[in-house]
A and B are shown apart, each in its own frame.
Chain A
Amino acid sequence: MAKHETPLLDQLESGPWPSFVSDLKQEAAARAKNEKNIEYQVPVDVVEDLLGVLELSFKDGTTHWKHGGIVGVFGYGGGVIGRYCDQPETFPGVAHFHTMRVNQPAGKFYKTDFLKNLCDLWEFRGSGLTNMHGSTGDIVLLGTTTPQLEEIFYELTHKYNQDLGGSGSNLRTPADCIGQARCEYACYDTQDLCHTLTQEYQDELHRPAFPYKFKFKFDGCPNCCVASIARSDMSFIGTWKDDIRIDQDAVKGYVNGDFKPNAGAHAGRDWGAFDIQKEVIDLCPTECMKYEDGKLAINNKECTRCMHCINVMPRALRPGKETGCSILVGAKAPILDGAQMGSLLVPFVEVNKENDYEAIKEVIEAVWDWWMEEGKNRERLGELMKRQGFQKLLEATGIKPVPQHVQEPRHNPYIFWKEEEVEGGWDRDINEFRKHHKR
């Protein structure tokens, strides 16, 4: 018999999708039974009380969690989010229900024993409820009490070689795509860059001193599987400088129906014979491709790396060999001012392990210095860029304006030149001027 009646939550289970309410009930029942004889360190009925407080919130139309808290592990300003219930007498199991964010391994590669150990730890010292993964990529452990925090942190760092992630006005846990480990499109080693920068910027990750949150995300190619362009303040997207590599025989193979387009990804239905003109050439956003006399040609100068042709014919087309990444800045979700996509700051930069990614770190640190000095409290980088202008960002980072920075021509007719940018400065010989211009 459930501890609290939950008719409103029960209704949620009736839909066609797997329900988190069913998951919670399952965990509540497992804790009550305790078949493994675990010495639970947080109240055994924590999940029952969570269901109870959620039901009450549905009934009241308001939250029963207080706003934030002062808990954390020693020396860290992030990784733990204090959650306290405002009805602790009715729901003592969730009086403390803190969240812990654990930095996921790069590319989210796990061994099953790691996951099992993590779950065992969380059954023992937490509610047993997890969220795999939070939208920043972290492993999210939901619901524990203050005395457990240091214990969990010790076990995570000493036994499982795993650190807490970022929260608050910090560098958030950097996230990357699966990269060269499994994907032939990846133009650089996303996992190595993500891991290296995570290690390099430990102070920024754990000791908050930014105006607000700051996110890094790494995509190996412009398919953008982690959606860095939309979700991170600084997005690193793999790209190439030279031409798309074409295997003309394989192109013919696609045209003749020897290979399934999109590697068979849409093979669940009969779409008819593959039509290269209709399905590739005509869909190129810059119209830079043609297929004539059995030969595919690409005007690479016009290519904007949409990836469509490569995705449709992966056997025939491959990214170029001279690879690196583009850096985009300022994307964010719509808390203030609406959502924003990233703006291109560095069209191409070498991703060089040998020199410890020096060129990339230089850009990062210049951007941070500017934002830390000029950013208002709770102002994201994208908002500062909007407030002060892209030109200021270029000045702060020492990057020269290039045509790639312009989204479309003739958008804004005003250019404010500075004195040092104009030959001869503002001074003029008035007599010389008057020779040609009468009063």
Chain B
Amino acid sequence: MELEEAKEKIVEALNKKAKTKSKFYFNDLSKILELKPREAKKLISKLVEDEVLVYWSSGSTTMYGLKGAGKQAAAEHED
């Protein structure tokens, strides 16, 4: 899968759920891409590098979200 296609799929799927959810597990993303984890990882890492996605971490678990989505970035003046 090409990066552009992956970006489109991810952005569309995450925006669709934006009202109820702003953070997603890695597995959710690989399901959206319909790829095996290792294949999906290459594309998802690239999307983080391109600042389409950002990591969110509790310290123990990592999640992904669209850059600027959700309340937290604004609440902590990190946007």
Contacts and interface: CB of A to CB of B under 8 A. Distances in A.
B52 interface: no
Interface string A230-274: 000000000000000000000000000000000000000000000
Nearest to A206: B45
A78 B48 contact: no
Nearest to B40: A209
Interface residues of A, number: 35
A377 B57 contact: no
Interface in B23-79: 25-27, 36-38, 40-41, 44-45, 48-49, 54-62, 65, 72-73, 76, 78
A77 B58 contact: no
Given A70-B72, A81-B58, A209-B41, 10 more contacts: A68-B59, A69-B72, A70-B78, A71-B78, A168-B57, A168-B59, A168-B62, A170-B62, A210-B26, A372-B38
Nearest to A373: B37
Counting from the closest, the 3 A-B pairs by CB-CB distance are A168-B62, A68-B58, A208-B62
Contacts of B44: 209
Q: Which of B49, B72, B76 has the most CB of A within 10 A?
A: B76
Contacts of A209: 26, 37-38, 40-41, 44-45
Interface size band for B:
20 to 34
A81 B59 contact: yes
Given A68-B57, A75-B48, A77-B57, A211 B27 contact: yes
A70 B59 contact: no
14 contacts: A68-B59, A69-B76, A70-B56, A71-B78, A81-B58, A82-B76, A167-B57, A168-B57, A169-B26, A170-B62, A208-B26, A208-B62, A211-B26, A373-B36
Nearest to A170: B62
Interface in A81-120: 81-82, 84, 96, 99
Q: What does DSSP make chain A's interface, helix, strand, loop or mixed?
A: loop
A67 interface: yes
Contacts of A146: 78
Nearest to B58: A68
Contact of B55 (A70, A84, A372, A373): A70
A354 B26 CA distance: 36
A80 B59 CA distance: 8
Contacts of B55: 70, 72, 77, 168, 208
A217 interface: no
Contacts of B25: 211, 377
A33 to B, nearest CB: 31
A422 B15 CA distance: 52
A188 interface: no
A170 B41 CA distance: 12
A376 B60 CA distance: 15
Interface of B: 25-27, 36-38, 40-41, 44-45, 48-49, 54-62, 65, 72-73, 76, 78
A167 B58 CA distance: 9
A218 interface: no
A372 B56 CA distance: 19
A321 interface: no
Nearest to A72: B55
A24 B26 CA distance: 38
A75 B54 CA distance: 10
A169 B62 contact: yes
A322 interface: no
B61 A168 contact: yes
A168 B45 contact: no
A207 interface: yes
